[in-house]
Structure 1
Amino acid sequence: MSVRNLKDRDLLGIADLNSHELHDLLQYAADLKTGIITPRCNQVLGLLFYKASTRTRVSFTVAMYQLEGHVIDLNPKVTQMGRGEPIADTARVLDRYLDILAIRTFKQEDIETVAQYATIPVINALTDIEHPCQILADLLTIKECFGDFQGNTVTFLGDGNNVAHSLILGCAMTGMNIRVASPPDYQPNPEIVAKAKSLAEGNCEIIVTDDANAAVEGSQVLYTDVWASMGQENLAQDRIPVFQPYQINSQLLSKADPEAIVLHCLPAHREEEITNEVIEGKQSRVWDQAENRMHAQKALISALLGLS
């Protein structure tokens, strides 16, 4: 299994894995979830989060504890990082103390700088460009629901943000069709879309459109996120009328495959990007998706530390 090839590597974006490694990592996560394998370590994970977090922070912490490892929460507000210590200096110091580091920060360049100066594995726990750990859990959830990726279409509705970027790449690498429906001024980065097309497995389609109804038609997976990401809270109210046509509600859901599932990376603003009826409905897999954050990250930690 090619997860053995991941030892001492970084995950700064989902495409740091190749298609085979991605498939193997997802199978490894599934095996960990069922208890078929139970790796153990006595190593230390550092969590350096410049942004708020619930699922990512807790799932990483629980995953490491279940591996019998240790976790240090490196809160920038109570460390020298909050007083302006250079990222390169911080990276070289943490490299001497920790075995693995997960970072949630505002700029992709910051995590790339840490990876440049640290020799330990560095994990992107969310930046402005990507959220690869979220997409590992999403893909694991889709595989659990449908048994395979081939022939499925995923439709993401809303802001073409970091989650959308990683989802486009992840779907392309697993051979799933991916459609992103966003208002014209909020569509995903064209460079990410072009990269996904270059990585696409098989004949999967990658479509970016402003037509929510067309994007949803016949889809097996509907996915959404908040309309204003962290750091954009002051824009939230202004975005509501712009994004209203992209809300996942029962009417839009009815246009999808009858067996379609609904995903949301959370936290959800109910009655904005998704209605309460849908997120609590029988087609919602949001809570399975949230649980799978822990299993996917346990697999990732294990693989990067060479425990597999």
Structure 2
Amino acid sequence: MSTKILSLNSTVFKWMKTFHTSCPRGFRTAAASLSSVSLKGRSFLTLKDFSPDEIKRLLWVSGDLKHRIKHEKQYLPLLQGKSIAMIFEKRSTRTRMSTETGFALLGGHPCFLKSEDIHLGVNESSTDTARVLSGLCDIVLARVYSHSTLEELDKEASIPIINGLSDLSHPIQILADYLTLQEHYGSLSGLTVSWIGDGNNVLHSFMMSAAKLGIHLKIATPKGYEPEKSVIEEAQRLSKEHGTKLVLTNDPMEAAHGSNVLVTSTWVSMGQEEEKKKRLNDFKGYQITMQTARGAKPDWTFLHCLPRKMGEVEVDDEVFYSPRSLVFPEAENRKWTNMGLVVSLLTDYSPQIPMLKF
């Protein structure tokens, strides 16, 4: 054991020595600033509530855990003795697996709760559920239909509540997207992200955070499928505050022009199955293809939060399975960013690797 500890300390020393001798003074100052950011005890309902430094801190911790656990093969039982209640009103592959495996990998105990397993909002109020879970576990992740359910849980709970998805936003997905783009491009500031598709919860989370990281955002939705007015107003405010561009259009080609990243998601989300025929008709012309990308920048890439439902056509196979697609690294990063999130909300963990470049 002592040999392993000595090896770890030596590795960390080499990282920090390289960091302090090779990084510009301003960059070291930024690292020191992020090191002082604490999110312990906070809930995570929407990225609207988080500052640029707080989002960067979450990504830094996530990147650190990924490096130390995946690449350095270190065992970090940071959550030993802790448990997470995972409430799922909606089914999921990535949200469940990323949270469950990530929490367990850090030494904690995940508890999966389907709607039929608990009484949330049916035989028991959200207030009572929040108070009960506060005494039984350390943190809650809830994947729900209505964002108000999360707000009710957060109001009454004495432990952090994480939004695993709601009708308003999907912030844990966007953290994974940002880490994926940071890894691919080396930094986030100055990138242009183009959303082509529905004005849904995933887009809302982009809009409430992109400008904070210096990302320009271009959005193309069919008429009648625009993002919520309040979210547009917030995105416009953030864009002005941080000096980024925000474009809203109904033309997919206009949105794709000059873009680094093309993004879409399913056109028919859970709960919208009865609207499927109408939606697929209304979204004609919005499929992302190589033709869509002809006006994008030479280094363009593609993101999709998944699932890509069989028989739906928001992106064709040529793009989805191309070398430009970051879809599967993006899916894996859901685990690392969820791990970074819960570690940040439950502990005073300090990253060991040099700060990521933003």
What residue in structure 2 maps to residue 97 of structure 1?
A: 136
Structure 1 distance, partners of 2:327, 2:337, is 15
**Alpha-carbon offset, residue 277 of structure 1:** 1.4
2:330 aligned with 1:289: yes
**Alpha-carbon offset, residue 24 of structure 1:** 1.5
1:44-83 equivalences under 5 Å are 44-81=83-120, 83=122
Partner amino acid, structure 1, of 2:250: D
What residue in structure 1 maps to residue 250 of structure 2?
A: 210
Partner amino acid, structure 2, of 1:96: G
What residue in structure 2 maps to residue 235 of structure 1?
A: 275
**Alpha-carbon offset, residue 79 of structure 1:** 2.3
- Measured against aligned partners, the alpha-carbon deviations of 1:232-251 in whole angstroms (never above 9, x if no partner) come to 01111221121121111111
More divergent stretch after superposition (138-147 vs 190-199): 190-199
SS of residue paired to 1:185? coil
Alignment partner of 1:272 out of 296, 299, 313: 313
Structure 1 distance, partners of 2:170, 2:253, is 26
Partner amino acid, structure 2, of 1:164: L
Contact between 1:62 and 1:294, CA under 8 Å: does it hold in 2?
yes
RMSD, matched Cα: 1.6
Partner amino acid, structure 2, of 1:40: L
Partner amino acid, structure 1, of 2:62: A
What residue in structure 2 maps to residue 147 of structure 1?
A: 186
Structure 2 distance, partners of 1:2, 1:25, is 11
**Alpha-carbon offset, residue 304 of structure 1:** 0.3
**Alpha-carbon offset, residue 6 of structure 1:** 0.5
Q: Which runs of 4+ in 1 moved over 6 A?
A: none
What residue in structure 1 maps to residue 292 of structure 2?
A: 252
Alignment partner of 1:193 out of 223, 228, 232: 232
TM value normalised by structure 2: 0.83
Partner amino acid, structure 1, of 2:287: Q
- Measured against aligned partners, the alpha-carbon deviations of 1:64-97 in whole angstroms (never above 9, x if no partner) come to 0111000111222122337431111111111110
Partner amino acid, structure 2, of 1:209: T
Alignment partner of 1:34 out of 67, 79, 84: 67
TM value normalised by structure 1: 0.96
- Measured against aligned partners, the alpha-carbon deviations of 1:246-268 in whole angstroms (never above 9, x if no partner) come to 11111102221121010000001
2:50 aligned with 1:17: yes
SS of residue paired to 1:222? strand
**Alpha-carbon offset, residue 169 of structure 1:** 1.6
Contact between 2:85 and 2:140, CA under 8 Å: does it hold in 1?
yes
Task: Tell me which structure has the larger Cα radius of gyration.
Answer: 2
State the percentage of identical aligned residues: 37
**Alpha-carbon offset, residue 175 of structure 1:** 1.1
Contact between 2:139 and 2:161, CA under 8 Å: does it hold in 1?
yes
Contact between 2:37 and 2:57, CA under 8 Å: does it hold in 1?
no
Would the alpha carbon gap of residues 196 and 39 (structure 1) be closer, same or farther in structure 2, given more than 3 Å must change?
A: farther
SS of residue paired to 2:284? helix
Alignment partner of 1:298 out of 339, 344, 348: 339
Structure 2 distance, partners of 1:12, 1:268, is 25
Alignment partner of 1:128 out of 154, 167, 178: 167
Structure 2 distance, partners of 1:221, 1:95, is 40
**Alpha-carbon offset, residue 14 of structure 1:** 1.1
2:205 aligned with 1:166: yes
Would the alpha carbon gap of residues 306 and 4 (structure 1) be closer, same or farther in structure 2, given more than 3 Å must change?
A: farther
Structure 1 distance, partners of 2:341, 2:49, is 12
Structure 2 distance, partners of 1:307, 1:234, is 46
Structure 2 distance, partners of 1:175, 1:43, is 36
Size of the aligned set, in residue pairs, is: 308
**Alpha-carbon offset, residue 193 of structure 1:** 1.7
Structure 1 distance, partners of 2:219, 2:152, is 30
Contact between 2:266 and 2:314, CA under 8 Å: does it hold in 1?
yes
